[in-house]
């Protein structure tokens, strides 16, 4: 296990971001006080030094991306907004479905460019791979858009080691976004593969719900460091590998500040080993 001590990472070897990012999925987008609060929180995140914000078309079917525009456009030069495509809703209220057809991906990318008011999406991620469409067709489409200058770097989400290896034979994969935390290590092998290839790994749900009440070991380490259980969980992720870029989401200004501050938390070797031993679930 490689220790992750650097505070920044270059996605695709090019885009330097601070490793503690922000996931915008939870932010309310409805008009009025909730939207005003979401805008204030996004602006505060940037003030606190966040340079990576994760969104997706699926989050409100474009509404989340539009919220980011209202809050942050024109974007700071060092801010990377990463979005995701390949999910559709056939009708209002219908269940989300994976769609990796080339024509659909092209249209989604063009819509994302318009919504985000950019000419190029720095990091465009496949929300899910479509098992009904050849992978070469899906990623080949994104590669063409990349060559056209519409996409900077290509990322994946919820993939296996084998899928990652197959994808890397088609395109340069800059990031992988899988579920992972100190209490949920199902995708350990995928993280190890990303570590070996220096591919950014963006764990979603980086603070497992159980960390809110904390296991005994997490609670003990938190008490020793005068920190919260969530901060310990995030510090463990940052320490896990230099390619890990947590994207915790919150609608609370207090929790946002706590999450960002977790980047400064340092675990001792002994504390890290205790957390490493927590049973996988």
Q: Which positions are catalytic?
A: 59
Report which of 77, 80, 144, 134 is spatially closest to residue 110, judged by C-alpha positions: 144
Residues ≥6 apart with Cβ < 8 Å to 275: 182, 217, 218, 221, 232, 236, 267
Residue 49: how many other CB atoms lie within 10 Å: 12
What is the four-CA torsion angle of 120, 126, 131, 132, rounded to 10 degrees? -30
H runs (alpha helix) in the chain:
33-47, 63-72, 102-116, 135-147, 161-168, 188-197, 210-213, 216-225, 229-240, 253-261, 269-276
């Amino acid at each position: 296990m490689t220790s992750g001590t650097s505070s920044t990472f270059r996605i695709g070897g090019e885009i330097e971001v601070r490793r503690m990012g922000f996931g915008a999925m939870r932010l309310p987008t409805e008009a009025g006080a909730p939207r005003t609060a979401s805008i204030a929180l996004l602006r505060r995140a940037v003030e606190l030094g966040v340079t990576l914000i994760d969104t997706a078309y699926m989050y409100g079917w474009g509404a989340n991306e539009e919220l980011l525009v209202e809050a942050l456009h024109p974007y700071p030069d060092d801010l990377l907004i990463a979005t995701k495509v390949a999910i559709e809703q056939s009708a209002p209220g219908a269940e989300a479905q994976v769609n990796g057809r080339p024509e659909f991906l092209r249209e989604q990318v063009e819509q994302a460019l318009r919504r985000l008011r950019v000419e190029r999406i720095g990091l465009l991620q496949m929300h899910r791979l479509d098992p009904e469409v050849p992978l070469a067709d899906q990623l080949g489409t994104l590669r063409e858009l990349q060559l056209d200058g519409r996409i900077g770097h290509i990322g994946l989400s919820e993939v296996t080691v084998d899928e990652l290896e197959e994808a890397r034979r088609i395109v340069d994969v800059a990031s992988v976004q899988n579920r992972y935390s100190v209490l949920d290590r199902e995708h350990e092998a995928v993280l190890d593969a990303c570590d070996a290839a220096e591919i950014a790994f963006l764990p979603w749900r980086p603070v497992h719900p159980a960390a809110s009440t904390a296991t005994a070991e997490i609670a003990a380490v938190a008490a020793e460091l005068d920190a919260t259980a969530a901060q310990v969980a995030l510090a463990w992720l940052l320490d896990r590998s230099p390619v890990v870029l947590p994207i915790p989401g919150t609608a609370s200004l207090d929790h946002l500040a706590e999450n960002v501050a977790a980047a400064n938390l340092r675990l001792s070797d002994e504390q890290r080993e205790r957390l490493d031993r927590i049973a996988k679930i």
